[in-house]
Amino acid sequence: MSQEDGDGAGYDIASFAPDGLPRLIEVKTTNGWERTPFYISRNELEVADARRHEWSLVRLFDFSRNARAFELRPPLETHVSLMATQFQAAFN
């Protein structure tokens, strides 16, 4: 998805589960260990919430040495702490 249509869909891969239902996969990759913080956009969080039965986050870690992965399902707040790291400034 992101390769063909850009990064605004809220997920990277559109696929199907074994039962034929849609599956939306967001991939987050770091070279650090499994608990290394990663960035997630507001849009990705909104899609995760709106389509929680279809959406999942696949977390790839230790990518450059011994890549491993695990999956997180919404609501993400049950797995990670979300912290705002950027603000938009608009003129009054």
pTM: 0.85
Q: Is the pLDDT assigned to residue 2 strictly greater than 60?
A: no
Residue partners of 31: CB distance under 8 A and separation at least 6: 61, 62, 63, 64, 65
Number of independent structural domains in the chain: 1
Q: Is 85 inside any structural domain?
A: no
Going by the DSSP 8-state scheme, the letter that residue 76 receives in this structure is: G
pLDDT category at 8 given cuts 50, 70, 90 is confident
pLDDT category at 4 given cuts 50, 70, 90 is low
* Each residue's pLDDT tens digit, 12-64: 999 999 999 999 999 999 999 999 999 999 999 999 999 999 999 999 999 99
Q: Is 89 inside any structural domain?
A: no
Tell which wins on pLDDT, 25 or 8: 25
Tell which wins on pLDDT, 2 or 90: 90
pLDDT of residue 87: 86
Q: Is 92 inside any structural domain?
A: no
The boundaries of the domain holding residue 55 are 2-78
* CA separation for the pair 50, 81 (Å, rounded): 19
